[in-house]
Structure 1
Amino acid sequence: MPARKGAIAFGLVYIPVELYTATQDDAVRFNQLAKDSMKRVRYVKTCPDCKRELGPDDIVKGYQYEKGKYVVISDDELDSLKTEADRSVKIVQFSDLSEVPPLYFEKPYQVVAQSGGEKALELLHRAMAEEGKIAIGTTVIGNSETPIALIPHEGDLVMMTLHYQSEVKDVPKTLQHPAVADEELSMAKKLIESMTAPFDPARFRNTYQERVMELIQNKIAGKETTVEQPAQQPSNIINLMDALAASLKEREGETHSSDDDKKPPRRASTKKTRSSTKTRAAS
């Protein structure tokens, strides 16, 4: 996908940048087929009056202002409404990352300086990183003005589109905060500590999608697919402390097993060899 060109407006500083989508969808795609003929289902757009099939050039955008009455708006007319400011990322304020609830984050873009904007972008990036701040602002994407956050990430600057407050749903029920015992809290903290590690994205794989692809390949080859089911987890927690203690014990077992794998081979075989050598020498 081509980069989206624009600029970052930072006070009176104007930084020309390009925005690149930072993620991709790796989901397995299926086509819909007619069950009897096994032909792909077609979705055809037709005129309700003459029943003629319509192509892209036959379709226009219309806004219904009264029932059955529309005003037609072209893409050129929509683009003509965009000012140079709309095409830029306007920084409105700086905030702490912790002040933005995770529910508001939507889609990431990588920000790259255009020719001539490298120093200004580096200055903004370093100043934000050293101050521990993110930038909050707005830009126009498509036909909608969108709030955004600029976030320093290692040596890069990432732009995250944000949801409007009206788009974030309220929690459907009141969250309960029952009392927890000090012993339970201490045990839970120990379990968290035992599972703490630096984030490594390579550790995570879409194993379900791998099984889907295995199913597809097996069906192509006429083979059966069997999936080994893991041990069934308990459906309810009878004793929270017992569950936490068992979890810690399991973690300790995994840690010891991992440590054993890293240990060098035992030297018992060496002693055996020396013993047998002495026996042969004596004989």
Structure 2
Amino acid sequence: MATRAIWKGHLSVGELSCAVALYSAATTSERVSFHIVNRKTGNRVRREYVDEQTGKPVDRDDQVKGYETAKNSYVILEPDEIAAAVPEGDKTLSIENFVPCNEIDTAYFDKPYFLTPADEAAEAAFAVIREGMRKKKVAALARAVLFRRVRSVLIRPRGCGLLANTLNFDYEVRSAEDAFANVPKMKIKGEMLDLAKHIIDTKKGDFDPAAFDDRYDAALAELVKAKAEGREIEKPKKQRTGKVIDLMEALRESAAAEAKSRRGKAKKPSSSGSPKREAG
């Protein structure tokens, strides 16, 4: 793996343990990023902390964390006090239990990581844990001190390695019941349901992350390129959005359009099906 491990420790379940390495599974480094620049001079602007009341800059050594207990009243926490409160890690991802994969609520997922054996000596024990989980179709719930916090981690088999997701705490995940409280309960049946199922069937496909299109980032990249080259910036065309007057009619039109699209694709001759002339 080309990237550097961001954490190394041990994965343990009962008496079985193996050395593991944790790698970030996602990155935003390829996105278009900007600096804040002074429009008049073209120079970069740096951030500076200032006292809210006096307006004067505050030196780094005088910057401390404070918890607001009342309006403009804070409990001051020194860096060494915060450091002492952070639990010490023993560099162990300790598996507490295994849960069926179909019971996992993805709303709790935080960030994804790849987990691999840290060295050759760990490979056999790592494979035993991975294949046991794969065979039983379960995920492991583990706890560890990661990045200065005690975190719960969900671990699942992924190819020849493991995929680990740090999990949001229960208090961090908002209630689905509250979010959906004003959504009316409606029963859909008959032709309307049949049309909906037909549209879904015609739109069936495979999960292909490579097909995801980050239009915002692509548009920013093109904007930067155009300005750097002194080209005129073309404004994107606005898509027309019509109001749905009749839901049933909209479903029928959508189903007909999808059927027509499918027929058009089926009629196109494939290049692999054309006869080839043999040489000689």
Residue 35 (structure 1) shift: 3.6
Structure 2 residue aligned with 1:112, among 104, 113, 116?
116
**Which ranges in structure 1 are unaligned for 5 or more consecutive residues?**
268-283
Does residue 153 of structure 2 align to residue 148 of structure 1? Answer: yes
SS of residue in 1 equivalent to 2:78: strand
**What is residue 127 of structure 1 aligned with on the other side?**
132
Question: Mapping of 1:232-243 within 5 angstroms?
Answer: 232-235=240-243, 237-243=244-250
Residue 53 (structure 1) shift: 6.3
CA RMSD of aligned residues (A): 3.1
CA 1:265–1:133 in 2, change beyond 3 Å: closer, same or farther? Answer: closer
Q: Distance in 1 between matches of 2:220 and 2:4?
A: 31
Q: Which amino acid aligns with 2:20?
A: V
Normalising by the residue count of structure 1, what TM-score does the alignment of the two structures yield?
Answer: 0.80
Preserved contact between residue 65 and residue 71 of structure 1 (Cα < 8 Å): no
CA 1:149–1:242 in 2, change beyond 3 Å: closer, same or farther? Answer: same
Q: Which amino acid aligns with 2:209?
A: P
Residue 102 (structure 1) shift: 1.8
Structure 2 residue aligned with 1:22, among 19, 25, 30?
25
Q: Which amino acid aligns with 2:200?
A: I
Question: Mapping of 1:1-283 within 5 angstroms?
Answer: 2-3=4-5, 4-25=7-28, 26-45=30-49, 54=59, 58=61, 62=65, 67=73, 70-74=76-80, 77-78=83-84, 81-84=87-90, 87-115=91-119, 116-170=121-175, 171-174=178-181, 175-229=183-237, 231-235=239-243, 237-263=244-270
Deviation string 1:143-201 (CA, Å, 9 cap, x unpaired) is 21111100112333100011111001123450322121232222111211111112112
Deviation string 1:229-266 (CA, Å, 9 cap, x unpaired) is 2641323x322222222222222232233223334699
Deviation string 1:200-241 (CA, Å, 9 cap, x unpaired) is 121122123212211111112222222452641323x32222
**What is residue 273 of structure 1 aligned with on the other side?**
none
Preserved contact between residue 10 and residue 92 of structure 2 (Cα < 8 Å): yes
Residue 52 (structure 1) shift: 6.4
Q: Which amino acid aligns with 2:223?
A: L
| Higher mean C-alpha displacement, 35-44 vs 145-154 | 35-44
Residue 41 (structure 1) shift: 2.1
- Alignment size in residue pairs: 262
SS of residue in 2 equivalent to 1:32: coil
Preserved contact between residue 86 and residue 148 of structure 2 (Cα < 8 Å): no
Q: Distance in 2 between matches of 1:209 and 1:68?
A: 40
Q: Which amino acid aligns with 2:171?
A: S
Q: Larger Rg: 1 or 2?
A: 1
Preserved contact between residue 78 and residue 143 of structure 1 (Cα < 8 Å): no
Residue 83 (structure 1) shift: 4.1
| Higher mean C-alpha displacement, 244-253 vs 257-266 | 257-266
**Which ranges in structure 2 are unaligned for 5 or more consecutive residues?**
275-280
Preserved contact between residue 87 and residue 150 of structure 2 (Cα < 8 Å): no
Residue 21 (structure 1) shift: 0.3
SS of residue in 2 equivalent to 1:160: strand
SS of residue in 2 equivalent to 1:43: coil
